Chains A and B, each alone.
Chain A
């Protein structure tokens, strides 16, 4: 699994790259226009040459031709595309922060190892949910969700496919509190106060963009080697 800090760092780097690339492209584009004009003028009006020479002395290489500059621009554009990809690709992973408290769980105490496991699996569940609903990929739901939770989300995906919609869950923050842990450890109930940017798109068109605060009641049960979400139900409040 990719650590959150790494993904966040990647995003920052990608953002910085996008910014720098945009600045570079703008600068070079302006220069290109100026150079193209100058180049054209230089061919027709010899007196302009002197001004170009004087510019050359202030740092602009006289050998730079518009063709070379356009090559640079195309490379910068490729870099920009790469940066955008870098930024976009891991976004659904990076933007899921989960904080968990188990101090009020009972009647059975939640051991630290179990707490880490549940936190990890719940975070993975939300990453999968976000991926499934953004790209209408039902496969992502099979591992982390079972029973009602999986059926509901599967219905969402198939329904979205039919109507051409997709949903993005961006910048997710989850404050999770375990409120019940069964005596035999076969079910844990979580209360998740989550906030995220909810974007609903019809095709490529953004039809809804809202920062929402949601309250989820979650039931998780143990599977072979991990915990799965059995119930994920939004409520007005806890």
Chain B
């Protein structure tokens, strides 16, 4: 009995050790690394470019910044704090609320001394999962592969005083008297100026644009109900974050309402519902959308890219870009959105890009971009 027990214990220890040491030593060309596959002190040697990137991402995921920084090439022009900020985010940006969940690696090219690996990084964020594609350049140093981390060009904004002359609207709820009709302020007058329903990759989508026709800001939400041939509702959804909810007077926003898993052929009618209410708002910050153009990204997909320029004196923590795309008849054929994971500092710009579905890329004739923004400490 004692012998059997000893055998079992020894076998278990051996198997665990083999499992741990074996982890991460895969030598295949294209890999996906498993989270938590290595223990501290058991990081595999970076004897391939893929292994080097895998090690780096593992350390980043576990927030072992010293180890991650140690995996960088000496030729990298970045200090540890900046490197850390790039992964952790700063200024209350979306990245500061995000976690690296996983990644997929693909070699782009490799020689004996240098290589390029394309990583598809999956982040979990408060606004949902976000994918980011990043190219890593690697060189061989002393028999090991090291990541070359380029120095980021940080905008050098001179010290200055930015005069604040923006407009703001406050709401006064009035006194507590419940006199019927005395405290009546109409909700803002908003209008759906266009609507289009299309089949999408995940089901169907209803999209278009809304204008605030009033002279006060409006908090807007658009809902849609799909109705079948018998007049029965199939599903109802709302625009959630695919809209700029706070509309200043005469401002136009795109909206998109997704109906996952519903084929448009079953839909006879779409009932639209727009709700608007009064909201305190500010005309600041003004964010310019510069150099917008449709381009192909590194993966060959069509994207609309450009730069957001914060023309005000306050930091925009989480910029959100919503773009509507029109065909040659001026009809909205798609609405895309994307979050910028870096904060938009005063008087600086940040690049952005939003996807265009492959099937629609050829039909896009023009586009319109609005910027929604979330700033900490502001509602």
Please give me the residue from chain B that is nearest to A148 by CB atom: B180
Distance in angstroms from A231 CB to nearest chain B CB is 10
- Provide the residues of chain A in CB contact with B180, threshold 8 Å: 147, 230
Instruction: Tell me the A141-164 residues at the B interface (CB within 8 Å).
Output: 147
A117–B86 CA distance with the chains assembled, in angstroms: 55
Within 8 A of B (CB), among A123-173: 147
**Chain B residues numbered 167-201 whose CB sits less than 8 Å from any CB in chain A:** 178, 180
CA distance A230 to B180 in the complex (A): 10
Expressed in whole angstroms, the Cα–Cα distance for A230 and B179 within the complex equals 12
| A219 nearest in chain B by CB position | B180
Bitwise, A212-238 to B at CB < 8 A (1) or not (0) is 000000000000000000100000000
Q: How far is the CA of A147 from the CA of B180 in the complex (A)?
A: 9
Considering the complex, which residues of chain B in the window 127-178 have a beta carbon less than 8 Å from any beta carbon of chain A? 178
Residue of A at shortest CB range from B181? A186
Cα distance A230–B178 in the bound complex, in angstroms = 12
Which chain A residues lie closer than 8 Å to B178 at the CB level? 147
Closest to B184 in A: A186
Chain B: residues with Cβ within 8 Å of the partner, total of 2
| Residues of B with C-beta under 8 A to A230 | 180
Complex CA gap A205/B178 in Å reads 40
**What is the distance, in angstroms, from A95's C-beta to the closest C-beta of chain B?**
30
User: Which B residues are CB-close (under 8 A) to A147?
Assistant: 178, 180
User: In the bound complex, how far is the Cα of B179 from the Cα of A147, in angstroms?
Assistant: 10
Instruction: A147 to B178: give the CA distance in the assembly, Å.
Output: 8
**B178 (CB) vs chain A CBs: closest residue:** A147
Q: Kindly state the separation between the CA atoms of A147 and B177 in the bound complex, as whole angstroms.
A: 12
Cβ distance A181 to chain B, nearest Cβ, rounded Å = 16
B301 to nearest A CB, angstroms?
42
Enumerate B56-97 residues with CB–CB distance to A below 8 Å: none
Contact with B along A54-92 (1 / 0, CB 8 A): 000000000000000000000000000000000000000
Contact with B along A91-110 (1 / 0, CB 8 A): 00000000000000000000
Which of A180-230 touch B at CB < 8 Å?
230
CA distance A184 to B180 in the complex (A): 15
| B180 to chain A: closest residue by CB | A147
B273-313 Cβ-contact flags toward A at 8 Å (1 or 0): 00000000000000000000000000000000000000000
- Which residues of B (114-130) have their CB < 8 Å from a CB of A? none
Chain A: minimal CB distance from B356 (Å):
37
Q: How far is the CB of B33 from chain A (nearest CB, A)?
A: 50
Query: In the complex, A37 Cα to B180 Cα: how many Å?
Result: 76
List B329-347 residues whose CB lies under 8 Å from chain A. Answer: none
* A1→B371 CA distance, assembly (Å): 43
Residue of B nearest to A221 (CB): B180
Distance of A162 Cα from B180 Cα, bound (Å): 31
Measured in the bound complex, the distance between the Cα atoms of B181 and A230 in whole Å is 13
Complex CA distance for A28 and B178, rounded to whole angstroms: 64
Q: Report the minimal beta-carbon distance from A167 to chain B, rounded to whole angstroms.
A: 27
CA distance A102 to B178 in the complex (A): 29
A191 → B minimal CB distance (Å): 20
Q: How far is the CA of A147 from the CA of B182 in the complex (A)?
A: 14
Expressed in whole angstroms, the minimum distance between the Cβ of A230 and any Cβ of chain B is 7
Look across to chain A and name the residue whose beta carbon is closest to the beta carbon of B186.
Answer: A184
Closest CB of chain B to A31's CB: distance in Å? 54
Shortest distance between the CB of B124 and any CB in chain A (Å): 34
Output the least CB separation between A111 and chain B (Å): 14
User: Contact string, B193-221, partner A, CB cutoff 8 A, digits 1/0?
Assistant: 00000000000000000000000000000
Look across to chain B and name the residue whose beta carbon is closest to the beta carbon of A231.
Answer: B180
Chain B nearest CB from A188 CB (Å) reads: 14
CB distance from B291 to the nearest CB of A (A): 44
Would you give the shortest CB distance from A187 to chain B, in whole angstroms? 9
The answer for the CA separation of A151 and B180 in the assembled complex, in Å, is 15
Min CB distance A213 to B, Å, is 30
Instruction: Using CB atoms, name the residue of chain B closest to A184.
Output: B186
Docked CA distance A126–B316 (Å): 52
- Distance (Å) between the CB of A77 and the closest chain B CB? 45
Chain B nearest CB from A145 CB (Å) reads 14
CA–CA, A15 and B178, complex, Å: 47
- Shortest distance from the beta carbon of A228 to any chain B beta carbon, whole Å: 12
Q: Within the assembled complex, what's the spacing in Å between the Cα atoms of A199 and B326?
A: 67
Q: List 3 A-B contacts (CB under 8 A).
A: A147-B178, A147-B180, A230-B180
Which 3 pairs from chain A and chain B are nearest by CB? A147-B180, A147-B178, A230-B180
